[in-house]
Amino acid sequence: MELPEVEYLSLTATELQDPVSPTEEETIILNVGGVNHEVSLETLSSKPGTKLSNLSVLKQHYRPTKKDYYFDRHPMIFLAILNYYRTGELHIPLQFCGPSVKKELAFWQIDETLIQECCWINYHEYQEQKESLIKFNAFFSNDENIYKDIEDTKCPLWRRLRLMAWRTLEEPCSSLAGKVYAGISLMMVLLSISIFMLDSHHILDVRPHDGAWNLTMSLFGTSYEEYQDLQDHMSGKHDNASHAIGDDVRFNLLHPAVEILNFFCAGFFTLDLLARIICCPRFRLLVSPLMCIDVVALVPFYVELILNICRPEELYKQSVFDFLQLLQIARILRIFRVAKHYTGIKVILYALKESVSEIILTIVMLCIAMILFASLMFYGDNVYNESSKIEDIMIGCWWAVITLTTVGYGDKVPTSGIGYVVGTVTAFCGVLLLAMTIPIIVSNFLLYYAQSQSDKKKCKTKKPEKEDDCDA
């Protein structure tokens, strides 16, 4: 099928105007949004392929009574478009919104890539922000398809109950039970973290021969005599075992009250994990980072419990089980399960996720600067200076990181004139390095946080009866 040829301006103004009211001037009147613009035909015909250079389109908008061509479009943006016809350069004023300009350019059939470089960054920024906000909303939006079977009476009762339980566990604002459970979870997380921190302090330790010590041992089903045999086995002595076990700090135990609380927390999180596994509607949710954190946080507790019951001597000597103690740090990460229901923390985490490239760039630049200035400091500070504290380049790297990040512990400092010069340059470069990269991460956070607050206000405006739902 042959396409009809488009007729572009090649007529005079007299032929284009209403035949009843011809004009001798080679100009026409364009009325855009109520604002008249007088422009020559030569100017319009200089941009073939655009709307105003198309004769058939212009005839459709001609008003004989007013002898003009009316377009109900944005009059202020049209000034920039008309200037493009006159000068050949497309400049967009900064006060106009990107989507509005995009629609106007599409209407006038002008390619947006013709925008000059000085205006392109500001114009195109809106599109990047729009795409980022779409991803942001999609990331935090709830998958309602998961819960569509709750209201379906044809769905098996067991599946409906599982979905209701999962919604209670994952979406606190969905019901009163969810809010209550979220509050209990928060208290249990804080209690677990408190026990983890206090466990590192001797204030809650009980020593052998203390009354509470026997009670703590009984929690593991171990008698005092069994622990005496354990001490004899490890020390190789059988005399005065009672005195030795009392002086050995390795045999100090947690206060029984704290140990009971520890058992209670572990039991709560175990039941919580089992409930999530049973009620989880989709397998991919089982391998989420928060589920992995729950598993890793529970492993050290149960390993230590089993060893206390079966082979307690393994807990009081260096072995591979020492590594499991490090996994207890995962208790602290449980706070993210509760924190995910709070907007500010979610925005911070998402901003960091979207700023990975900037963070990597910062680290790379920091490593390059670290190696460079560490080498300069090592060779510069050791020139005729026997009292230099930068014994090697590795120590110089430590000094460079502390200086570049403007921390300045002061444990390693230059002691020569050349070292002072290198230190000054290093500090100055550190400030520039952080000033160039960190604002990018901050701008991402401000963008996403402003969007989250805007969505929250919209939600409250549209559904005032469900204000609590906006919190998530």
Q: What one-character-per-residue DSSP string does 362-430 give?
A: HHHHHHHHHHHHHHHHHHHHTTT-TT-S--SHHHHHHHHHHHHTT----SS---SHHHHHHHHHHHHHH
Task: Specify if 370 maps to a domain.
Answer: yes
Last residue of a domain, one of 311, 340, 369: 340
Residue 28: the pLDDT is 87
Last residue of a domain, one of 340, 367, 394: 340
Task: Specify if 82 maps to a domain.
Answer: yes
The model's pLDDT over 335-366, given as tens digits with 9 standing for 90+, comes to 777 666 677 777 887 888 888 888 888 899 99
Q: Are strands 205-206 and 253-254 parallel, antiparallel or unpaired?
A: antiparallel
Task: Specify if 110 maps to a domain.
Answer: yes
Joined together, the tokens standing for residue 382 give 């050791």
Residues 104 and 220 in one domain: no
Residues 283 and 412 in one domain: no
Alpha carbons 131 and 244: distance in angstroms, whole number:
68
CATH of the domain at 44: 3.30.710.10
Residues 324 and 177 in one domain: yes
Q: What one-character-per-residue DSSP string does 294-313 give?
A: HHHHHHHHHHHHHHHHH-GG
Joined together, the tokens standing for residue 73 give 């479009």
Last residue of a domain, one of 292, 315, 340: 340
Residues 6+ away with beta carbon under 8 Å from 462: none
Residue 147: the pLDDT is 63
Residues 185 and 329 in one domain: yes
Q: Are 304 and 315 in contact (CB under 8 A)?
A: yes
Task: Specify if 5 maps to a domain.
Answer: no
Residues 20 and 115 in one domain: yes
Residue 270: the pLDDT is 92
Residues 314 and 380 in one domain: no
Residues 237 and 315 in one domain: yes
Task: Specify if 153 maps to a domain.
Answer: no
Residue 149: the pLDDT is 60
> E strands within 185-302?
205-206, 253-254
Residues 6+ away with beta carbon under 8 Å from 436: none
Alpha carbons 63 and 71: distance in angstroms, whole number:
11
Alpha carbons 105 and 413: distance in angstroms, whole number:
61
Residues 263 and 319 in one domain: yes
Residues 184 and 258 in one domain: yes
* Domain extent at residue 63: 13-137
Cβ-based neighbour number of residue 53 at 10 Å:
22
C-alpha distances in angstroms, 331 versus 258, 269, 301, 432?
16, 10, 11, 37
Low-confidence ranges of the chain (pLDDT < 70): 1-25, 139-154, 207-252, 311-325, 338-341, 458-472
Task: Specify if 415 maps to a domain.
Answer: yes
Residues 355 and 294 in one domain: no
CATH of the domain at 384: 1.10.287.70
Joined together, the tokens standing for residue 225 give 């005599």
- This prediction has a pTM of 0.60
Residues 240 and 375 in one domain: no
C-alpha distances in angstroms, 333 versus 190, 263, 293, 297?
11, 19, 7, 8
Report the domain count for the chain. 3
Residue 139: the pLDDT is 67
Q: Are strands 62-63 and 35-40 parallel, antiparallel or unpaired?
A: unpaired
Task: Specify if 144 maps to a domain.
Answer: no
Task: Specify if 99 maps to a domain.
Answer: yes
Residues 89 and 61 in one domain: yes
